[in-house]
Structure 1
Amino acid sequence: MTREIVGAAVPRSRGIVGHLVLGLLGLAAIVPVYWLYATSLRAPEDVHSLSPFPWPLSGASYAEAWGAVDMPRLLLNTTVMAVMIALGQLLTGLLAGYAFAAWRFRFQNVLYLLFVATWLVPFQVTMVPNYVLLNQLGTLNSVAGVVIPNLCSALAVIMLRAHVRSVPFELLEAARMDGRNAWSTLWTVVVPNLAPALAALGVLLFVNAWNEYFWPALVLQRTNAVLQLGLRSFMGTEGNDWGPMMATAGMACLPVLLLYLVLQRRIVDGFVRSGLK
């Protein structure tokens, strides 16, 4: 009896320790975000204060940021850029993942490995050829120039191939026997079963595109057309204007946080089902 009690107490204690560790890691992740908003809500004369609680609260930094940059235009451009990149990567990843998982053709494994290998190529290797191509196309200094080279993602192909392979093969065979072609099978059978995975991956791709800085900075040299480049307006040789900068960064974080709150259930389902066959 005593051994049974001790045996039950050990997993319980491990669970408590695990939750404590996760809680500490979560707190460590939240602190920078909290400090960002705390700094943005301080009065201009208290921006450099180390107090963890901003008081008195002030919206002066947000008013200054809103007046210094065209915030509605930056939000619209950044949203359009991130949505187009995420949708393009989801579509190409879904089509390629479906082809690699549901079909058999010559050199399939070789082609897939070559596709995966592109994920290992540093961005700096393709940066110059992409820039030259965009210059020839006349799409420099435009949002389209940021979007076009990012319409395909090896990460999306890898993840969606794994998820398509988790769809029961019997469902695909039943659809084919029912007279549906490959295109109809994809959208009526495969996609409904991948809804949580598509939502989770879509949020991940959207966040990656939303936070992108280097490539937009290279393509949009003559204009601060997206939020991440708008932050440069508050950086100068004499120092940074931290209040408006933190306010702009805080407003840039809000759409991502709202997107996660809306799709939270599907995101969790996508990660949970990713390990189920």
Structure 2
Amino acid sequence: MTADLTLRPAARLTRPRAAPLRLDTAIGHAVMVILAVFCLFPVYWMIVTSLRPANEIFDATLWPTSASLENYAHALRSIPVWRMLANTFAVSALVTLAQVVTGLLAAYAFARWRFRGDRLVYSMIAMTWLVPFQVVMIPNYLLVANMGLLDSLSALIIPHFAGALAVLMLAQAMRSFPAEVIEAARMDGAGNWRILWQVIAPNLRGTIASLAILVFISTWNEYFWPLLLSRSPENSVIQIGIQMFMTSEGTAWGPLMAAATMASLPILLIYIVLQRQVVQSFMKSGIR
């Protein structure tokens, strides 16, 4: 009797708690599905519009009555799409590599060394992160022009060679790195260079991967800086190629959407393959 009396109240107490949890879960999933539809529908509409013939561009149907790849053929004939995609990938990859390397070097100095004015320098770097690139675009343009690098891929890379976001993210990660591991490496005779590249960097692969994804996507989507520097399609990026379909005579929506789809495919593939790392990159980008 005692066992029965003690078990029944416990059963009665646990049953009412399970139902609200299931309801909350269902509501949460419903909200996420609705938000996913709102986020994915513009991408879907871009792809569908790229498949519409010219006489159906402004139709409101969810799928074209006669899907065609003519817009993709027109885009490939009008601009050097593959050359521009290759340029965009090269610029994004080199900027990502440069910011990761310079960020590691600067972050190690701020996290492990103490020198006069280190906090001031660190604060100034953090302040540059708050300044939009459009503010310093004209000074950078004059600098690049004096170097004779206009209409070149080097001009798209040099101003982004170092980034405040890379320094801040990596510095915070290095400050939380166990000091005992570094001291053990020093006792084994390792210098600063060896400690950075053989001890700290391999253990910060998650943070480095998150930073690389953020920088790569940001550089891939860059528009204003290439627009200011580019003079020829062969030395430009795909975002400028998309803009070429918008002229004073009108906008060729079909080829424009086709070029935009081809420009979005690499980023979509990166997200599909590295979905977990992409989500973690946005979570880790919050600087403490």
TM-score by length of 2: 0.88
Partner of 1:172: 182
* 1:70-149 map, 5 Å: 70-149=80-159
**Could you tell me which amino acid in structure 2 is paired with residue 4 of structure 1?**
T
1:95-144 C-alpha deviation (Å, 9 max, x unpaired): 22222223333322222111101112232331221111111100011111
Give the root-mean-square deviation of aligned CA atoms: 2.0
Whether contact under 8 Å (1:100, 1:108) holds in the other structure is yes
* 1:255-274 map, 5 Å: 255-268=266-279
Separation in 2, partners of 1:29, 1:92 = 34
1:194-242 C-alpha deviation (Å, 9 max, x unpaired): 112211221111111011000110111x223111111122112121000
Pick closer, same or farther for the CA change 1:264–1:166 going to 2, 3 Å.
farther
**Could you tell me which amino acid in structure 2 is paired with residue 157 of structure 1?**
V
Partner of 1:215: 225
CA shift at 1:18, angstroms? 2.2
Partner of 1:150: 160
Consecutive unaligned residues in structure 2, runs of 5 or more: 1-9
CA shift at 1:271, angstroms? 6.0
- Range 249-258 or range 160-169, more displaced: 160-169
Partner of 1:185: 195
**Could you tell me which amino acid in structure 2 is paired with residue 223 of structure 1?**
S
| Structure 2 residue corresponding to 1:68, chosen from 61, 66, 78 | 78
Pick closer, same or farther for the CA change 1:3–1:171 going to 2, 3 Å.
same
TM-score by length of 1: 0.91
Separation in 1, partners of 2:156, 2:243 = 18
Whether contact under 8 Å (1:69, 1:230) holds in the other structure is yes
Separation in 1, partners of 2:189, 2:134 = 47
Q: Does 1:227 align with 2:238?
A: yes
Pick closer, same or farther for the CA change 1:250–1:274 going to 2, 3 Å.
closer
Bigger radius of gyration among the two: 2
**Could you tell me which amino acid in structure 2 is paired with residue 125 of structure 1?**
V
Whether contact under 8 Å (1:62, 1:244) holds in the other structure is yes
Consecutive unaligned residues in structure 1, runs of 5 or more: none
CA shift at 1:261, angstroms? 2.7
Whether contact under 8 Å (1:197, 1:267) holds in the other structure is no
Separation in 1, partners of 2:256, 2:132 = 30
Whether contact under 8 Å (1:89, 1:156) holds in the other structure is yes
Separation in 2, partners of 1:270, 1:121 = 22
Whether contact under 8 Å (1:41, 1:54) holds in the other structure is yes
**Could you tell me which amino acid in structure 1 is paired with residue 103 of structure 2?**
G
CA shift at 1:31, angstroms? 0.8
Separation in 2, partners of 1:163, 1:88 = 19
| Structure 1 residue corresponding to 2:261, chosen from 250, 255, 258 | 250
Separation in 2, partners of 1:110, 1:64 = 54
DSSP-derived class of the 1:11 partner: helix
| Structure 2 residue corresponding to 1:21, chosen from 31, 42, 52 | 31
Pick closer, same or farther for the CA change 1:274–1:229 going to 2, 3 Å.
closer
1:72-117 C-alpha deviation (Å, 9 max, x unpaired): 2111111111111111111112222222223333322222111101
- Range 63-72 or range 101-110, more displaced: 101-110
Separation in 2, partners of 1:173, 1:15 = 47
Pick closer, same or farther for the CA change 1:179–1:269 going to 2, 3 Å.
farther
Separation in 2, partners of 1:267, 1:122 = 23
Q: After the TM superposition, which segments of 4 or more aligned residues of structure 1 sit over 4 Å from their partners?
A: 268-275
- Range 187-196 or range 102-111, more displaced: 102-111
